[in-house]
Structure 1
Amino acid sequence: MNELLEIAINAAVSAGAEIMNIYSKDFEISFKSDHSPLTVADERANAIINSILIPTKIPIISEENKQINFEDRKSFESCWMIDPLDGTKEFIKRNGEFTVNIALIKNMRPVLGVIYVPVTKTLYYAVVQDNKAYKIDLSSHFFANKMKGQSQLLVPSLSRENEVIIVASRSHLNSETELYIDDLTQLGKKVSLVSRGSSLKFCLLADGKANIYPRFAPTMEWDTAAGHAICNAVGLKVMQIDLEEELKYNKESLLNPFFVVK
């Protein structure tokens, strides 16, 4: 597992370096069939990640790859789940709140997660079975295994009876989320809100900067898998709304149900 972690980190950081090359220049924006934006940064990051992960011989599911038919996918015991540029809207706005997400899925559960924040060169990573997650601020877009000793252990925030810090989407705060916040307020909770783009929301919870992440808007499996792994490694759960089970991966539909992380 450690070897696969190193490969995933290398892929994420290498993709982040290429994303920043494009971020510093003018770039064109196109749109997919679902009207979501696409840039050359998404495509080049995806190509880099694929080139590094293909030698592992583990199937790859990526937002920017041609999607594999479920009849073929359903036999996968393991697969990579990739979002080469999570937060393309944030990338276009140039607010820095975008990430590279790489997760390893085994038997429909995330077992390894890597999230890289190219603008700040912050790397988050975890192997779930180790029950630990880490972050490190890099000096350049480069990571070597010997640098793990410089990483900081992530510690989630202890629950406070009457105080809740909710992290919500920078681009997708909707009425359902507002109602969820209102319900907590009605219960006598002192609620504060932190807004972030992309998978940074998972990172804030794992790092003790927030308590709850409610998501009442569409996400795909590649949006959540890496953050799910990192949160699981520190004891947090990513629970489906109205179901007593966590999100699953490599489903027939790669669209996630609504969920709450806490």
Structure 2
Amino acid sequence: MATVDPAWVSARRRQSEQEEVRLWHRKLDRELERLEQRRHKMGNRSAGIVERFKAEELKTRSLHDLIRRGLDPKKTRTFRGRVNVTVRCTPKGHVLARVYATRYLPVIVPQTPYRGFMHDKEKRFTGIDKDQEKVFRSIFSHVQFRDTWIDVVTDDEQVDDLIKYEKEVRGIDPLPRERLDEIRLDWTEYSIPNLTVIQEGHSAREVEYDGVTYEPSWYLLCRCGLRYLATYLVVDALRTETSKIFA
């Protein structure tokens, strides 16, 4: 069997992630347009609703400012732009997450997203059925298999229904490629699990919910295992301009 160059695999993975980030940026452009439209309707709303709208807009603008930069072509899973804080694992210093500065609020982005069930390195597969997993393992057996970084979820049923409706109304089959891409983008969501826009509330050391007190935190996945990071440690690092913390 012909061997596959790991560098080629890595380059293709980065190319795919760059494209996903580009589309994510377009998606956020649309969300900001919708927020601008909603802004003009806020005049008669209650103070509570207005405050929630402002908080949503601030989070969206912070994320948009980060995503628009694109990924660093020379570093894996790293956005362009200034990093305020780097989170590393205590045992060996592996990078767990980066906190990026934006024009609005800082954003923490995990290097390897934790999805709640990946305790074993060999189980770090997402969105792959068993047959595909076997094929991938046979082809890339010598290449470290890495889990998905950016989650891309499309509501295919809604996409198909809208395409069918537009074909009937316009009397065009097939629809122009540009319109098909617009429809799919409207019904596709992009995310990185545990990516968080950091706000003042993250400085809390304890939070009570349904009578239970807990410490707000992130779980960050590392090759050393699962690491625990209290959110207030990141806020404290930002306040004191500490560039590196450990989990």
Q: With the length of structure 1 as denominator, give the TM-score of the two structures.
A: 0.27
- From the two aligned structures, give the one with the greater helix fraction: 2
Which of the pair has more CA radius of gyration? Answer: 2
More strand by share: 1
**How does the TM-score come out when normalised to structure 2?**
0.29
RCO higher in structure (CA 8 A, sep ≥6): 2
